[in-house]
Structure 1
Amino acid sequence: MEIRKVQITGGSSYIVSLPKQWIRSTNIQKNDPVGLIVQPDGSLLITPKISGEVVYRTRVFEVSATTDRPYLLRLLIGAYVAGFTAIRLESKGRMPPFVLQLVREFTQMAIGQEVVGETDSSITVKDLLNPAEMPFENTVKRMHVLARGMQQDAMTALRTHDADLARDVIVRDTEVDRLHWLVARQDNLIGIDAALSRRMEIPVNQAAYYFLVSRIIERIADHATRVAHNALALIDREVEAATLDLMDEASALALEIFAWSMEAFHSGDIRKANTTLQRVTDLEEKVREINTQVIRFEAATAIPLGQISDSIRRIGEYSGDICESVINYTVGQET
C-alpha cells in the first residue's frame, strides 16, 4: 500500500497525487479523465475506464484428438465461471469432431454462451448475456423453485413407482447447475470489474452472499436428485405405507424449512432465520424414526430407503445453513 498525503489547493480543493507506476501502466496522459467510485466500505476506487465498457478477457485452450473429454468440459465450465468474455479452442490440425459436439453441449448448458467463430482448426465461444439483465435475486428464486419441485416429484416417484418422473427429476438437476454457474460467474465478474457492481446495483459482499446461498441450493437439488436415483432403485419393490407416510412427512418438513429459510433470506429477517434453525431438530427426530423402521427391511430395500432418509435430513440441514448465512450477513450489515 502506498500512503499519500491529502493537500489543499486554491483554498477549497483537496488533491492527492497518483502513483507514477500506475499512471504509466494504464497509459494515462495529461488532462485524461479518470473515474472515481465510492465503495460501500467508504474506500475510493480510481479507474481509467469511464465508458462503462465490459472488461474483455479471452481464454485459449489447445485441443487434440487425445484431449480428455470430461477434462475439457471442466475447463470450459471453469473459464465460464471465472468470467472470461470469450473462450477459444485451437487445434494444430483439423478440429476433432468430439470437440465440436462438446462445445455444442457446453453452449446448451451455460447461459449466454454462443459460438461466434469457427474454422477448421479453431472455434470461439462468446458470452452474449448482459449480466445486469439477470439479477442475482431472480436467479436464486428460480433455483429455489426448481429444487423444491424436484424433491416433491422425487418423493411422488417413490410412492407411485413412476420411473419417468424420477428420471425427469434427474434431468432437471442440470437446470439448477447452470443457474448456479451463472451466479458464480456474475460474482466473479463483479470482483474483476468494480463498475459492474454499480451497474447491477449490488455491493461486492452482497454478490458473494448470493453466491454462497446459490451453492447451498445447488447442493439441496443434488440431494433431490439422489432421492430420485434411489426411487429408481426401489421401482420394483414394495414399501409399506406407514414407512412411506413417515418419509413424506419428513420431506414435507424439510421443504418447509427450506421455504422458510428462503423467506428469511429474501427479507433479511434474522428472527425468522433463528426460528427456522430450531425446526431442524424436529426434522432430525423424524429421520431417526424413519431409520428405525428402515432397518427392518432386507438390504436391497433398506439401503436405498436409508439414503433417501439421509438426503431428506441433509436438505433440512442445508436449509439451516442458509439461515445461518442470513444471520451472519444481516448482522454484519447492521450499524
Structure 2
Amino acid sequence: MEIRKVQITGGSSYIVSLPKQWIKSANIQKNDPVGLVVQPDGSLLITPKIGGESVQRIRVFEVGAATDRTYLLRLLVGAYISGFTAIRLESKGRLPPFVLQLVREFTQMAIGQEVVGETDSSITIKDLLNPVEMPFDNTIKRMHLLARSMQQDAMAAIRGHDAALAGDIIVRDTEVDRLHWLVARQDNLIMSDATLSRRMGIPVNQAAYYLQVSRIIERIADHATRVAHNALALIDREVEAATLDLMDEASVLALQIFSWSMEAFHTGDTRKANATLQKVRDLEEKTQKIDTRVLRFEAVTAIPMRQVADSIRRIGEYSGDISESVINYTVGQEA
C-alpha cells in the first residue's frame, strides 16, 4: 500500500497525487478523465473506465485428438465462470470432430455463449449477454422455482411409478446448473470490474451473498435429482401407502422451509429466517420416522427409500443454511 498525503490547492480543493506506475499501466494522458466510485466500506475507487465499456478478456486453449473431452468441458465452464468475454480453441491441424460437438453442447449449456468465428483449425466462442440484463434477483427466483418443482415432481414420480417424469427431472437439473454458472460468472465479473457493480446496482459483497445462496439452491436441486434417480429404482416396487404419506409430509415440510428461507432472503427478514431455522428440527424427526419404518422392507426397497428420506432432510438443512446466510448478511449490513 502506498501512503499519500492529502493537500489543499486553491484554498478549497483537496488533491492526492496518483502513482506514476499506475498512470503508465492504465495509459492515462494529461487531461484524461478518471472515474471516482465511493465503496460501501468508505474507500474510494479510482478507475480509468468511465464509459461503461466491458473489460475484454480472451482465453485460448490448445486442443488436439488426444485432448480429454471431459477435461476440455471443465476448462470451458471454468473460463465462462471466470468471466472471459471470448474463448478460442486452437489446433495445430484440423479441429477434431468431437471438439466441434463439445462446443455446440457447451453453447447450449452456458447462457449467452455463441460461436462467432470458425476455421479448420480454430473456433471462437464469444459472450453476447449483457450482465445488466440478467439481474441476480431474477436468476435466483428462477432457480428457486425450478428446484422446488423438481422435488415436487420427484415425489409424484415415486407415488405414480412415473419413469418419464423422473427422467424429465434429471434433465431439468441442467437448467439449474446453468443458472448457477451465470450467477458465479456475474460475481466474478463484478469482482474484476467495479464499474459493472455500479451499473448493476449491486455492491461487491452483495454479489458474493447471491452466489452463496445460488450455490445452496444448486445443491438442493441436486438432491431433488437424487430423489428422481431413486424413483427410478422404485419403479417396480410397491411401497405401503402409510410410508408414502410420511415421505410426502416430510417433503412438503422441507419445501416449506425452502420457500420460507427464500422469502426471508428476498425481504431481508431476520426474524422469519430465525423462525424458519426452528422448523429444521421438526423435519429431522419426520425423516427419522421414515428411516425406522423402511427397516422392515427388503434391501432393494429400503435402500432407495432411505436415500430419498436423506435427500428430503438435506433439502431442509440446506434451506436452513439459506436462513443462516440471511441473518449473517443482514446483520452485517445493519452495522
Q: State the TM-score, normalizing by the size of structure 1.
A: 0.99
Displacement of 1:58: 0.3
How far apart are the structure 2 equivalents of 1:171 and 1:30?
57
Write out per-residue CA displacement over residues 21-79 of structure 1, whole angstroms, 9 at most, x where no aligned residue: 11111121211111111111111111111121100000000000110001000000000
Write out per-residue CA displacement over residues 302-322 of structure 1, whole angstroms, 9 at most, x where no aligned residue: 000010000000000000000
Q: Specify the SS of the correspondent of 2:87.
A: strand
How far apart are the structure 1 equivalents of 2:259 and 2:230?
24
Partner of 2:44: 44
Q: Specify the SS of the correspondent of 2:169.
A: helix
Q: Which runs of 5+ in 1 are unaligned?
A: none
How far apart are the structure 2 equivalents of 1:99 and 1:167?
27
Partner of 1:178: 178
How far apart are the structure 2 equivalents of 1:136 and 1:56?
22
Partner of 2:323: 323
1:231 aligned to 2:228?
A: no
Percent identity at matched positions?
Answer: 84
Write the letter of the residue equivalent to 1:172: R
1:156 aligned to 2:159?
A: no
How far apart are the structure 1 equivalents of 2:191 and 2:256?
34
Q: State the TM-score, normalizing by the size of structure 2.
A: 0.99
Write the letter of the residue equivalent to 2:202: I
Write out per-residue CA displacement over residues 175-224 of structure 1, whole angstroms, 9 at most, x where no aligned residue: 00000000000000000100000000010000000000000000000000
How far apart are the structure 1 equivalents of 2:183 and 2:321?
18
How far apart are the structure 1 equivalents of 2:24 and 2:175?
46
Write the letter of the residue equivalent to 1:184: A
Write the letter of the residue equivalent to 1:334: E
1:299 aligned to 2:321?
A: no
How far apart are the structure 2 equivalents of 1:169 and 1:211?
23
1:72 aligned to 2:72?
A: yes
Write the letter of the residue equivalent to 2:61: F
1:209 aligned to 2:209?
A: yes
1:53 aligned to 2:53?
A: yes
Write out per-residue CA displacement over residues 131-175 of structure 1, whole angstroms, 9 at most, x where no aligned residue: 000000000000000000000000000000000000000000000
How far apart are the structure 2 equivalents of 1:292 and 1:159?
20
1:136 aligned to 2:136?
A: yes
Write out per-residue CA displacement over residues 268-287 of structure 1, whole angstroms, 9 at most, x where no aligned residue: 00000000000000000000
Displacement of 1:20: 1.1
Q: Specify the SS of the correspondent of 2:93.
A: coil
More divergent stretch after superposition (143-152 vs 14-23): 14-23
Displacement of 1:241: 0.5
Partner of 1:219: 219
Displacement of 1:100: 0.2
How far apart are the structure 1 equivalents of 2:110 and 2:238?
40
How far apart are the structure 2 equivalents of 1:32 and 1:138?
38
1:249 aligned to 2:249?
A: yes
Write the letter of the residue equivalent to 1:304: P
How far apart are the structure 1 equivalents of 2:8 and 2:307?
69
How far apart are the structure 2 equivalents of 1:125 and 1:15?
44
How far apart are the structure 2 equivalents of 1:7 and 1:69?
59
How far apart are the structure 2 equivalents of 1:156 and 1:271?
33
Partner of 2:187: 187
Write the letter of the residue equivalent to 1:294: V
1:273 aligned to 2:273?
A: yes
RMSD: 0.5
Q: Specify the SS of the correspondent of 2:37.
A: strand
Structure 1 runs of 4+ aligned residues shifted over 2 Å read none
More divergent stretch after superposition (18-27 vs 324-333): 18-27
